[in-house]
A and B are shown apart, each in its own frame.
Chain A
Amino acid sequence: MESRLVPANAILDLTLADGLNPAPLADAGWAVAALEMPVRVIGETVVCDVVLFNPRAGHLLAVEAKSGANLEPEQGRRLMALTPELLVSAGGITVPEPVPLRCEVLYACIAYNADRICMGADEAGLRVPVLAVGGSEARLLRPEMAGPLLSAALSAPVVWSHPIARIVPFDHESPAEAFDQPVRAELIAAMAQQRPSVTIRALTEQAVRHFPIYGRAAQGRLLRAVRDAARRAAEAEPERFRYERSTETTEERVAVLRSPETFDRRGRTQGYQAVWGSRASRPRRRAEIPGQMDLFSELDEAERVATEEESDNGNEGDGDAQ
């Protein structure tokens, strides 16, 4: 995962009780309410990267996931001016219990950048806790600035037992190759569904499942990245795909020229394996010489004939659903 995307994904992973990595924020009652949520505050719009809500405690957590080492003081001041009412209204968050609402801000960053983020917060006069996310653990810095619920939830470093989940695996700033796998997979899916074509717009929304979190400019960049990936994919397989520019009557799209679905069963498997040279042949691990029969089952048929184990006795309950 690109390091830029690690802090936001780490916060999400700590809030998703999927049973792999520890999820202390989920254990404490927080759930993800929104991503990239815009809120109007002090006459300006501030975008909260991740908003968590703890319905039992009435506690909202506005997380600023820093992709780099620089903290923007003005953005920080706007975040500190957030109120629970603004967050609930902006996110359309349902409050199931009539509990007093409160909110706090948490910064999350790569551990390598944590010192500079803390320094920037001090210089800006921001009393905010910082979650430093490293390769092996996440640690809450400045816990004295966190509310009791948050500091208790993250009182000890969270050790990653597995790689951080990739809920937002790439974004509009990702390198071109980040789009190849999802775009190619969606084109294969179109093949399997025997669709004659897929528009670049639809391909973008399918390949970038988190597309709705972005604003117009970022969505435009994502669309261009998907288009480029689709063109590369089509150029690499000119007999199977063709990129087509928009015309007066059609949107820009990728046409599926030939699908393995038109082959018989065996040919279908090989057809899919051949797309973009999917399979590099590897030596098989088997010790047997290719072409030799399985020694163990060699005598099965002989035994059946010799012992007449499977006589014609209408034993259909045993074999009928084979």
Chain B
Amino acid sequence: MTSRSDLSARVPVDGNVPAKAFVLEVHTDDPDAYLAEIAGRGNVQDTDDAFLSRVFAPSAGEFWVDRLQPRFWVFHTTGASVPAAAWLRDRVESRRDTDWMWLPSAHLRYIAPDALSRRVGTRFDGERLVGSEDAARDLKVQLSGSHAERLLDKITDLPDYRSAVSFSNIEVDLNDPDLGPLRESVRRWGAFAAHGEQFTYHAQFVQTVISRYARLVESIEALSLRFDPLNEAISSTLQDPDTGGASFAGMPIGIRFSRQIPDLPAFCEELFSSRAPFRLWGQPAITEDEALVEAVDLHVGQRIGMELGHDWMRVYLHAGSCGNTVARLISNLQTRFDGALALTNPDLQDAAGLKPRTTLAGW
């Protein structure tokens, strides 16, 4: 049997091939059965660690699946990344209880406070949502060099272009006196590639990024709208069957855009077209200044209410819905419409827009 400490040898970060890690958000009450279901019977091997399994994927090779965080599973592999990602994508797309981790731009920009960024990339594609007259409709930049993120920061400082800057990937160098050097390449959909000396350093890095993201998702879910019937013992004293009453918690999630939606009907048509990456279905009711829609997030098969104006959006997430829906919406809006959008709830903005000071926590 394999133990967790064997992972360093099973997924070496000091080989010619980088170690890869892919993070999936999973909803299940029975993790073992779930893993067997997505991997296929006979393709899962237990280890000495209750949260670590070995998975054989016929088309993608071997994964080491770490379930330390019950909701965010890490699929470690040294196999080729394209078939690994394809195998995982098929799992994600065929299920409604599994999704990627959708990092907001700032989680990449401030990935680790003591990291030296070597390479950054933005792939902003506003062709479908940004007006053709806009100063920045598409922006694709990749820069290698010391403190590479500073170029994108400079572009962000230009008012006409800031809305087109969204970190899609970043590569950073870290160095720890005990753990040695580590180079991490991170994509916004929760994919990591690493070279270094110690697997444990890589594993901790991945867990730290997950923890920050988990905080964002939990902050979103804390705002979900909840109507709970008043205590039945209380109501029964009223002897009046025709009364209801419920406690209420939560609030809508506000998003403020830094650029105007030029054509609200066209924007809604695209956003609610069921197409990737948003995969939102909806039939909006549109007036001159506002659009209302009861949408369905087809990734998870859950309804989500939305209101849009020309420079704002209000999202009504209901109790029991997955916060990943909103996190994905934010991440995709950042790369398709407005990289400089802001969340109007201060706590949520803090969780989504990590600044250097806050990244220190937990790392």
Q: Are B247 and A209 in contact (CB under 8 A)?
A: no
Known: A166-B305, A269-B275, A273-B274. 9 other contacts (CB 8 A): A12-B248, A18-B344, A20-B344, A35-B248, A38-B240, A38-B245, A181-B293, A279-B269, A321-B169
Give the residue name and chain of the A residue nearest to B298 (CB). Answer: A192
**A180–B345 CA distance with the chains assembled, in angstroms:** 30
B245 touches A181 (CB 8 A): no
What is the bound-complex CA distance between A191 and B301, given in angstroms?
8
Residue from the list A40, A91, A191, A219 in contact with B237, Cβ < 8 A:
A40
Residue A16 is within 8 A (CB to CB) of chain B in the complex: yes
Question: Is B17 on the interface with A (CB-CB < 8 A)?
Answer: yes
Q: Residue A250 at the B interface, CB < 8 A?
A: no
Report the interface size for chain A: residues with CB under 8 A from the other chain. Answer: 72
**Minimum distance in angstroms from A172 CB to a CB of chain B:** 11
Query: Which of chain B's residues have a CB closer than 8 A to the CB of A184?
Result: 283, 294
The answer to whether A19 and B345 have CB atoms under 8 Å apart is yes
Which chain B residues lie closer than 8 Å to A321 at the CB level?
20, 81, 85, 169, 185-187, 191-193
Contact present for B345 and A18 (CB under 8 Å): yes
Interface size range of chain B in the complex: 35 or more
Q: Which residues of A contact B281 (CB under 8 A)?
A: 185, 188, 192, 272, 275, 278
B113 at the interface (CB under 8 A from A): no
On whether the beta carbons of B187 and A47 are closer than 8 Å, the reply is no
Residues of A bordering B, CB below 8 Å: 12, 16-20, 32-38, 40, 45, 47, 89-92, 162-163, 165-167, 169, 181-182, 184-186, 188-194, 206, 209-219, 265, 268-269, 272-273, 275-276, 278-280, 282, 285-287, 314, 316-322
User: Which residues in B have their C-beta under 8 angstroms from that of A92?
Assistant: 230-231, 234, 247
| 19 CB < 8 A contacts A-B | A12-B248, A17-B345, A18-B251, A18-B254, A19-B343, A20-B344, A47-B245, A92-B230, A162-B314, A166-B292, A181-B293, A192-B298, A209-B227, A212-B228, A215-B241, A216-B242, A269-B279, A272-B298, A316-B18
Do the beta carbons of A167 and B93 come within 8 Å of each other?
no
Interface residues of B, Cβ cutoff 8 Å to A? 16-18, 20, 80-82, 85, 93, 96, 119, 127, 131-132, 169, 171, 183, 185-187, 191-193, 195, 225, 227-231, 234-235, 237-238, 240-249, 251-254, 256, 263, 265-266, 269, 272-276, 279, 281-283, 285, 290, 292-296, 298, 300-303, 305, 307, 309, 312, 314, 316, 318, 343-346
Instruction: Tell me if A314 and B252 are in contact (CB < 8 A).
Output: no
Is A317's CB under 8 angstroms from B193's CB? yes
A38-B238 in contact (CB<8A): yes
Q: Give the most central of B81, B231, B276, B318: most A CB within 10 Å.
A: B81
User: Which of B186, B246, B295, B296 meets A36, CB within 8 Å?
Assistant: B246
Evaluate contact between A316 and B81: CB separation under 8 angstroms.
yes
Are A38 and B247 in contact (CB-based, < 8 A)?
A: no
Give which listed residue, A35, A40, A314, contacts B227 with CB less than 8 A: A35
Inter-chain contacts of B191 with A (CB < 8 A): 321
Q: Which residues of B contact A90 (CB under 8 A)?
A: 230, 234, 245
Interchain CB contact (< 8 A) of B246 among A192, A212, A317: A212
Contacts of A210 in B (CB 8 A): 227, 246
Q: Does the CB pair B81–A320 fall under 8 Å? A: yes
In the complex, the answer to whether A193 meets B301 with C-beta atoms within 8 Å is yes
CB-defined contacts of B302 to chain A, threshold 8 Å: 189
In the complex, are the beta carbons of B307 and A163 less than 8 A apart? Answer: yes
Most buried by A among B225, B238, B285, B298: B298
Say whether, besides A34-B248, A318-B185, A18 and B253 are in contact (CB < 8 Å): yes
Question: In the complex where A35-B245, A212-B227, A317-B193 touch, is A18 in contact with B252 (Cβ < 8 A)?
Answer: yes
